[in-house]
Amino acid sequence: MKDKKIFFEVITPEQTVVSETDVDYVVVRRIEKAEEKIELGSELGIYPFHSPMLVRVPVDAVRYKKNNEIFFLVVGGGFLEVKDNKVVMVCAAAEQVEEVDIEVAKAAKIKADKWLEELAGRAEFNARAAEAELKRAMVNFYKSSSHETE
C-alpha cells in the first residue's frame, strides 16, 4: 500500500493539459463559500487514499509532486473530483508553468497590479482576465522563489 500513487488529469474544452500517473500528491485551493471567497490556508492536499469529493476551484495555482519533482500550473477555475486515487480537474482554461526567471516574474506581478489599479471601474475592464493575469504572475513569482513545499 505504501507505493500507491495518484492518477492526475487536468482537462479543458480544448485539450488535456495534464495526464500523469504515479503522482505523489496534488495541492489546490478551494472556494470556501458561495461568495467565492478564498480564505487564507484554504489549500487542499490530496494524497493516495483520499476520501471521495467534488469541489469548486478558483482561478489559481495548482501544484503536484511526481518523482521528487514539483510541477506547477495555473487553472481558470473549475471543478475537481477525487475518487479511487484519481484526481480529475475540469477547467475552462489551464496552463503549465515552466521555468521562471525571478526578475521577469516580479515585473509581471507589478504590471498586473498596476493594470488592476488603472482599469478598475472602467467599462472595458475585464475583472476575470485581470485576475487570471495577476494569478499567473503570482504563480511565476511563487515558483521562482526559494519557497519549499515539502
Neighbours of 141 (CB within 10 A): 18
Tell me, yes or no, whether 90 and 109 share the same domain.
no
The tens digit of pLDDT for each residue in 40-77 reads 557 899 999 999 999 988 878 899 999 999 998 888 88
Q: Are residues 52 and 82 located together in one domain of the fold?
A: yes
Number of domains in the chain: 2
Rounded Cα distance, 48 and 34, in Å: 28
Q: Which of 10, 31, 24, 23 is nearest to 89 (CA)?
A: 10
Q: Supply the pTM of this predicted model.
A: 0.67
The answer on 39 and 83 residing in a single domain is: yes
Residue-range definition of the domain harbouring residue 131: 102-144
Do 130 and 75 lie in one domain? The reply is no
